Structure 1
């Protein structure tokens, strides 16, 4: 496992900066090219999403709203809870600013990729010329091949294969891992049991295809977002006086960071920017090429009409929900606080580190035994036990933290002996948190003043479960469209079987390994996609200008009213 982590980290180091430059650069270029479409057409996007322009006679499998909620179910997920926490844990509050930048530019990128996916989608028809249920396939692999020409077929195939792998990891294993970790942290339920349960739920839903997925997500997505946002909003109201200072800290540390709790020291601007952009991409998926697959199934013959719906996603996902999470973390002070926890030395998130919060922590590579006296290392600022790559101040032998540890810890094997020769496997200490447990701590602290700390834990737990399961469900559709593109319809059922298995596997693997694998997969699919968007930008410009000059939604509104009168809606 350690070798795998080293390899993954090396690949990430190569890909992360091309990803950041490609993502932000493409978003800025498209924003200017399309005349700031994400700001000028935001209102029209909301209008189309309401369904007032839906025409049931147009080709496709789902409504504009169902396509939006399916895509939102994939984007509004653990990235909003665990991803924001991870970004601030490592990059500091300033990382949230770079998530905003990614989202605002990403709105133009999301608009572009969905419009092109609609333009070049594949719609099969029967002998009567009518589209049959589940027949629509679309996404970057189609606009790369059809928009750029047959010579680009290998690139399209690479994208489809990489996104299929991404569906196993980012859209599936990460979700399962977050749920399993959160349930274990809350109730002590073994991760394999949680993984088995959620894998079963996902399997039952995805076997029903896009129609069932669309129906489920159109209910689950709005409900889960409403519950989480309501809880966060209540906390912010209770901490309203701290919000201005939180914004000041976010903006100031975006360019002059003090670094996160687990960062590598003060002034690490690139670290803060990197984690903000990476987690922003993970959260809203703009430029990744996944959401266009869901939007391709929308019932419309106007590509731009679905593009304006799609640009709502980064706005809802990052500008609204991620911001609320970030503000809760900063205003409650949870991101730099410690809380009681059991420290199992065999756990993947426990390691031997050296350094300090001011200078940053790194993994200790030495082999000498570490001596503790009264709970703290005898060598002062030297090597010590750390959790989530952050050194622990004091170790105790009992849960009440009344018996400090005195003895030695082997740095290489983590073997522990107390001063009287007893073997210890688990310590107790106040430690920092990260990922979903950190957001849980923030909600507990935020609602404790009104006696609802336990409710805060419950809100995050339920949100994590609903977010993660709905994200996995939506990502299964992305992956099966890629499998269909590469291998035909015969590959869809085997893909779904592997997808369910990977959901279970993700639940039991180390959290850091899962997230790092997800970042590699994100980079592999994003780079060819943003290249295609740049090359097809003249087509985008033409489609956009034509749509807003012709105003076809006026005619569609009449068709919608007629269909409603006839009982077809």
Structure 2
């Protein structure tokens, strides 16, 4: 295991630059190419998500809000709680600024990739609707691009495992309940196995039920867990209201810290921000298009606009609030561990000594919803590779890795996922950039129709 860990660690520096070039560079190209058109229809995207333009006769399996909830369930989770803590722990408060920048750029990436997922989806009598990067690669670019699709799927088999989520949930559990003498007598290692087995058991009940069961469960869980977390965060911010503006100022000033630039750590901070933002909202990875491609719609642009809301909710809102709580409470100066411990300290300090228990309850919801949704991505990748429904086989493997991840080291798990994400970005972003003009043309036609309808209505 150590040999594998060392090999992955050696590859991470190259993976960091891949993500910077493809996600940020590619995203900037898309934003310029579109002339910021998707951003101008942010309000319209909210109306689509609310169901204002839903048509029950449209092709697809799930409505817009269900697709967004399922995709957000996979992103609003441990990445927003422990991912932000890890970023601040490794790079300081200034990293958050670069997380914001990556998220704003990522909104445009999500728009294009999820529009392509609807434009180039197939309807198979046995498997249902087939969508995602592997399909818009092969259908949009052509059969000559199949190696890119295969590359994406192979990397996705590892990248879409819920190992980081399981690992951080286990760390939360151990930190919150460890003082109990009964638990201490059982031993940390044994309890990690027990937590992993419980997570695997709970996940099994949902993931073997397929897409509709996953979306049904996540649609019920996601709004509740987000609201509970936001309420807790807002209460903490109310207790530290005089520290909110200084926290935001610290983020900005540290992002452009002159000493950091001179010492050569500036690009390291930027890359760390990109890594954690991509981990948080998955822009450029090609995961969200697999869910959004199932949406009931006959217009790809509509679903792209809905998908664009994901990075905003996930990163601009949730990650920012987490960062403010960590910085304003002073927890970022106390934690000596890489992971969720920093957020636990912030919650415990700010909520009368019981905040860590509340956070564990919230993390449980975040973790389970993410575990439910990630399995679907992996089954799609495996089914594409072998041209048959391999969901049962992948889900068995998926559940086993949940048990393993409970006891693995956070650094190994984080490096494994970061490397897989970087590899997934390569084929996906190549396809998105290559096919972008087709979506831009469609977007212009769609917005022209909206303007004409508005003129007629007036």
Q: TM-score, normalised by structure 1?
A: 0.75
Aligned residue for 1:149? Answer: 142
* Residues in 1 aligned to 2:433 and 2:264: alpha-carbon distance in whole angstroms: 33
Confirm or deny: 8 A CA contact 1:89 1:434 kept in the other structure: yes
For residues 84-121 of structure 1, the C-alpha deviation after alignment (integer angstroms, 9 at most, x for no partner) is: 00000001000000000010000000011000011001
RMSD: 1.9
List gaps (5 residues or longer) in structure 2. 184-190
* Residues in 2 aligned to 1:287 and 1:203: alpha-carbon distance in whole angstroms: 28
Q: How many residues align?
A: 443
Deviation of the 1:266 alpha carbon: 6.2
Aligned residue for 1:505? Answer: 404
Aligned residue for 1:252? Answer: 253
Deviation of the 1:3 alpha carbon: 2.4
Aligned residue for 1:437? Answer: 341
Is residue 139 from structure 1 mapped to residue 129 from structure 2 by the alignment? Answer: no
1:446 to 350, 355, 366: 350
Deviation of the 1:490 alpha carbon: 3.8
Confirm or deny: 8 A CA contact 1:92 1:257 kept in the other structure: no
2:376 to 450, 459, 477: 477
Deviation of the 1:532 alpha carbon: 1.2
| Cα pair distance change 1:495/1:433, threshold 3 Å | same
* Residues in 2 aligned to 1:297 and 1:443: alpha-carbon distance in whole angstroms: 38
Is the strand fraction higher in 1 or 2?
Answer: 1
| Cα pair distance change 1:326/1:553, threshold 3 Å | farther
Runs of 4+ in 1 over 4 A off after TM superposition: 264-267, 552-555
Is the helix fraction higher in 1 or 2?
Answer: 2
Deviation of the 1:180 alpha carbon: 1.0
Confirm or deny: 8 A CA contact 1:180 1:191 kept in the other structure: yes
Quick check: which has more Rg, 1 or 2?
1
**Per the alignment, in what secondary structure is the counterpart of residue 117 of structure 1?**
helix
* Residues in 2 aligned to 1:508 and 1:122: alpha-carbon distance in whole angstroms: 40
Deviation of the 1:181 alpha carbon: 1.2
For residues 434-462 of structure 1, the C-alpha deviation after alignment (integer angstroms, 9 at most, x for no partner) is: 32121010111222xxxx330x1122111
For residues 60-93 of structure 1, the C-alpha deviation after alignment (integer angstroms, 9 at most, x for no partner) is: 1111000000000001010000000000000100
1:11-410 alignment runs, 5 A limit? 11-125=11-125, 135-168=128-161, 172-188=162-178, 190-256=191-257, 268-338=265-335
Confirm or deny: 8 A CA contact 2:95 2:270 kept in the other structure: yes
Confirm or deny: 8 A CA contact 2:85 2:339 kept in the other structure: yes
Aligned residue for 1:550? Answer: 449
Deviation of the 1:144 alpha carbon: 0.9
**Per the alignment, in what secondary structure is the counterpart of residue 136 of structure 1?**
strand
Deviation of the 1:143 alpha carbon: 0.8
**Per the alignment, in what secondary structure is the counterpart of residue 453 of structure 1?**
coil
List gaps (5 residues or longer) in structure 1. 126-131, 339-431, 556-569
Q: TM-score, normalised by structure 2?
A: 0.93
Confirm or deny: 8 A CA contact 1:59 1:299 kept in the other structure: yes
